Amino acid sequence: MSYLTQKLAKETVLRDPVHTYIYVQEQIILDLINTTEFQRLRRIKQLGVASEVFPAAEHSRFTHSLGVYEIARKITNHLELDYSTQVPGDGLWNPSERMITLIAGLLHDVGHGPYSHTFEHIFHTDHEAFTQAIITTAGTQINTILRRVSPEFPAQVASVINKTYPNPQVVQIISSQIDADRMDYLLRDAYFSGAHYGSFDLSFILRLLHPYAGGIAFNIIGMHGIEDYIVSRYQMYLQVYFHPASRSMEVILTNLLQRAHDLYLKAQDDLAVDISFIPPVMLPFFQHKPTLQQYLALDDGVLVTYFSQWRYVDDPILSDLAVRFLDRKPLKSILLDDESAKYLPSISQLIQEAGYNTAYYTAENDSYDLPYDAYDPKDKKPRTQIELMREDGSTTELSTISALVNAITGRQSGDRRFFFPKEMLRTNSDDIFSPVYAEFQSYITNGYLAAPHN
């Protein structure tokens, strides 16, 4: 038997509270889990700063990756049992696609780094590119294992993840509007955060999957189960991923890294600027040319270790932001809209007057900056639609028949907020800045930026 399909002498399992067990049946899966690149995911939290708001959401990308693998495994089992191809071109499932599907599911996030979204914003790294690199670069443990299957296999696995693999069924199991990735993270984030909006009926949905020539459709008879999944996602985005306090911690992290980066740039021109606070492992990122090896050396603990040292640097903004990040001192925020945005200069001015450099202590931020991927067939960069399959094999797009999904589709959900130091909300009258604070507060009505009341 080839290495790709070689079974373990005895199936092994990993305990997982979301799926009860992760079942590992093939040698190659176990070997991939045991690589240094994959084990590194244990040290990167799945939700980044969200655990500052939902304290128990401390789970890692390691367990999520195992969960994606496990759902992909359940899907391929279901497809193989009920819909194995009978004649070429019948549009059904080809069981020989099983292993590449499982491996792509396991590895789809392997290039994630610490606090990816924020970090990438400042340092222009790209976790998707690193995922491809880890898989296809000779010398990584993962590449070495995949290459044992065939010289082309690493590139094939990578192509599933970047959606260029020819079989759309395999691609859609790993990335589409209802894929193993999203199904695992909704269930997992709900379980660990305690915000149960993310729960939906996985067993029910798995039974609906139906392969066809165009990819994976869902039996129309279970349309309401799909609706429930879509609404769960919507709720998790609004209530957890876009939570104002969580976004506020991201603002602090962004501004902290921005400040460090600005100091680095300044030091290029001005030798007096001390940038000894930048450790060797981080320097390549300031120079925008990290190697794969250097990238893999980062994890949450590494960043936080150096942030801890930044508490004591001389630059007052850098050290203060480091403290705010580590000791969880979120900014506060108010909602605004196009109309009320005209007051932003006035309140920024007041924040400046109270002694804060607004470049590092405020931010305007709407949740659409975040990687929200609500189902939208009208999107400019259209995603795979959710197709429902009727008894006779014809299909129809979900939002055409679901009023509930239609209500969410194409709408930008979320909100637009302005973040500022909590100190601006002080009401203690013996503070020297009290009049400034009071004027600032007069611009807030019911949590919204508004015409000042006196």
DSSP helix/strand/coil, 31: helix
Closest CA to 415 of 448, 376, 446, 391: 448
**Binding-site member from 14, 129, 341, 401 for a second copy (CB under 8 A):** 14
Asked if 429 is part of the footprint of a second copy (rule: CB under 8 A), the reply reads no
Instruction: Assign 3-class secondary structure to 265-287.
Output: HHHHHCCCCCCCCCCCCCHHHHC
At 18, the amino acid letter reads: V
Q: 256 and 321 in contact (C-beta within 8 Å)?
A: yes
Query: Is residue 427 within the footprint of a second copy (CB under 8 A)?
Result: no
Q: Which residue of 199, 294, 352, 442 would you call a contact of a second copy, by CB under 8 A?
A: 199
- Provide the minimum distance between the beta carbon of 112 and a second copy in the complex, in angstroms, as a whole number: 16
Q: Is 368 in the site for a second copy (CB under 8 A)?
A: no
Indicate the DSSP class of residue 176.
Answer: S
Our separate counts of H helices and E strands in the chain read: 21, 11
Q: Where in 76-115 is the site for a second copy (CB under 8 A)? A: 82
Nearer to a second copy, 144 or 268 (CB): 144
Taking residues 271 to 300 in sequence order and writing x for each that binds a second copy by CB under 8 A, - otherwise, the string is --------------------------x-xx
Q: Buried b vs exposed e over 31-40: b needs ≥16 C-beta within 10 Å?
A: bbbebebbeb
| Rg of the chain (C-alpha set) | 24
Which one, 13 or 265, has the nearer CB to a second copy?
13
Per DSSP, what are the bridge partners of residue 395?
389
Nearer CB in complex with a second copy: 167/441 = 441
- Region binding a second copy by CB under 8 A among candidate stretches 16-24, 87-95, 267-275, 378-386: 16-24
Asked whether the beta carbons of 76 and 180 are under 8 A apart, the reply is no
Q: Which is nearer to a second copy, 268 or 291 (CB)?
A: 291
Q: Does 54 bind a second copy (CB under 8 A)?
A: yes
Handedness of CA 182, 187, 193, 195 (dihedral sign): positive
Beta strands 416-420 and 363-366 are: antiparallel
| Residues of span 304-343 touching a second copy by CB under 8 A | 304-305, 308, 323, 326-329
Q: Is 172 in the site for a second copy (CB under 8 A)?
A: no
Q: How far is the CB of 119 from a second copy (least distance, A)?
A: 15
Q: Taking the mean position of all CA atoms in its chain, how far away is CA 278? A: 26
Name residue, tokens 């028949």.
401
State in angstroms the smallest separation of the CB of 175 from a second copy. Answer: 23
Total site size for a second copy, rule CB under 8 A: 73
- By CB under 8 A, is residue 449 in contact with a second copy? no
Q: Is 415 exposed, middle or buried (0-12, 13-18, 19+ CB in 10 A)?
A: middle
Q: Nearest approach, Cβ of 424 to a second copy (angstroms)?
A: 17
Indicate the residue among 355 and 447 with the shorter CB distance to a second copy: 447
Least distance (Å) from a second copy to the CB of residue 140?
13
Q: Which of 60, 136, 175, 348 binds a second copy (CB under 8 A)?
A: 60
Cβ(173)–Cβ(105) below 8 Å: yes
| Angstrom distance (rounded) from CA 374 to CA 236 | 11
What tokens appear for 26 in the block? 């093939």
165 versus 440: smaller Cβ distance to a second copy? 440
Looking at residues 229 to 268 of the shown chain, list those that interact with a second copy (rule: CB under 8 A): 231, 234-235, 238-239
CB of 271 to a second copy, least distance (A): 25
Tell which one of 58, 90, 274, 379 touches a second copy (CB under 8 A). Answer: 58
- Cβ atoms of 112 and 44 within 8 Å: the answer is yes
User: Candidates 94-102, 197-205, 335-343, 427-435 — which segment interacts with a second copy by CB under 8 A?
Assistant: 197-205
